[in-house]
């Protein structure tokens, strides 16, 4: 499997399982309706781990433009490959969101609240304050990129132990779970531009029963914040431990 295809499939899995757990919790008449924040954060953590397991060997499992840009900024990923990776991640996120819509098809009409429907696809702030929301996304993504760099650093891997294949993806999922539990409250922790923008575009084009607007006025925050945070996290890791 070539690397951009792996990024497409991995991001598709990420969003299918991640947006899927949100749909299970917030849409009406599902088995998981009302499951709450712990269920959502746990589901997203598992989604990340599964996606990383599926693609680590083929592409390095970026699955996130913030990771791709951060890695390129410190010379650990070729700039020439950045557009293909980000394009594949966006396409995978969009496709994963479409599959969530199909999986929960009867439940869109059963759910009256258009904001709940939008929440399946993308993030929204608990308190709308653009500067604070942006800072929260920067902090969360910087931590994500820094932690993932540390987990996968050669110095932390035992040669021929299989650690990187067996345990590292699960630990990446654990990092995402920790971020969701501790830093996800203000913005819903997008920490990934593709994860937010791709599904938001799917929400825009899909014939979802009773949907409202896509909140485009906020949409720049979960794109700009993670991109800035990804570069900061990679640069901090490189300066201190790289």
Residue 23: predicted pLDDT: 98
For residue 193, what are the CA distances in angstroms to 80, 95, 110, 238?
Answer: 19, 15, 29, 22
d(CA 219, CA 152): 31
The region of weakest confidence among 66-70, 96-100, 155-159, 180-184 is: 155-159
Residue 164: predicted pLDDT: 57
What SS3 state is found at 193? helix
Hey, what domains does the chain have and what are their CATH numbers? 3-240 (1.20.1080.10)
Q: What is the mean pLDDT of residues 195-214?
A: 97
Which H or E run contains 55? helix 37-59
In Å, the largest CA–CA distance within the chain is 54
Rg (the chain; Cα; Å): 17
d(CA 225, CA 103): 30
Statement: residue 157 has pLDDT above 70: no
d(CA 50, CA 44): 10
How many H-runs (helices) and E-runs (strands) does the chain carry? 11, 0
| In contact, 191 and 67? CB cutoff 8 Å | no
H-type helices in 74-217, by residue range? 82-103, 105-110, 114-121, 130-151, 163-166, 168-183, 193-205
Give the whole-number percent of the chain exceeding pLDDT 70: 95
Q: What is the mean pLDDT of residues 89-107?
A: 98
Mean pLDDT of the chain: 94
Residue range 32-85, pLDDT digits in tens: 999 999 999 999 999 999 999 999 989 999 999 999 999 999 999 999 999 999
Residue 151: predicted pLDDT: 82
Evaluate the CA torsion angle 58, 64, 68, 74 in order and state its sign. negative
Higher pLDDT, 241 or 3: 3
Q: What is the mean pLDDT of residues 25-34?
A: 98
Residue 216: predicted pLDDT: 98
Residue 34 falls in which region: left (phi positive, over 0), alpha (psi -120 to 50) or beta: left
Q: How confident is the model at residue 208 (pLDDT cuts 50, 70, 90)?
A: very high
Higher pLDDT, 162 or 212: 212
Residue 114: predicted pLDDT: 98
Q: What is the mean pLDDT of residues 110-118?
A: 98
Q: Which two tokens stand for residue 126?
A: 């608990």
Residue 167: predicted pLDDT: 85
Residue 154: predicted pLDDT: 61
| In contact, 195 and 91? CB cutoff 8 Å | no
What is the Cβ-side half-sphere exposure of residue 136, based on CA atoms within 13 angstroms? 24
Q: Scanning the structure block, which residue is given the tokens 């931590």?
A: 143
Q: Which two tokens stand for residue 151?
A: 């987990």
Residue 156: predicted pLDDT: 57
Statement: residue 209 has pLDDT above 80: yes
Q: What is the mean pLDDT of residues 210-232?
A: 98
């Amino acid at each position: 499997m070539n690397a951009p295809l792996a990024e497409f499939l991995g991001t598709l899995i990420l969003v299918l399982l991640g947006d899927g757990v949100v749909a299970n919790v917030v849409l009406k008449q599902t088995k998981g309706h009302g499951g709450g924040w712990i269920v959502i954060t746990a589901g997203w953590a598992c989604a990340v781990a599964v996606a990383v397991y599926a693609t680590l060997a083929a592409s390095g499992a970026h699955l996130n433009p913030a990771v791709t840009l951060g890695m390129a900024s410190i010379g650990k990923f070729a700039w020439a490959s950045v557009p293909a990776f980000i394009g594949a991640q966006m396409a995978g996120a969009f496709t994963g969101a479409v599959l969530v819509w199909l999986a929960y098809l009867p439940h869109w009409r059963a759910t009256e609240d258009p904001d709940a429907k939008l929440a399946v696809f993308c993030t929204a702030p608990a308190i709308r304050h653009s500067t604070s929301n942006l800072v929260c996304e920067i902090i969360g993504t910087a931590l994500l990129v820094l932690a993932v760099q540390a987990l996968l650093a050669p110095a932390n891997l035992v040669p021929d132990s299989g650690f990187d294949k067996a345990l590292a993806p699960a630990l990446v999922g654990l990092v995402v779970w920790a971020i969701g539990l501790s830093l996800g409250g203000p913005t819903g922790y997008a920490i990934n531009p593709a994860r937010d923008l791709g599904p938001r575009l799917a929400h825009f084009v899909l014939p979802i029963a009773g949907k409202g607007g896509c909140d485009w006025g906020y949409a720049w925050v979960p794109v700009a914040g993670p991109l800035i945070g990804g570069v900061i996290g990679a640069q901090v890791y490189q300066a201190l431990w790289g």
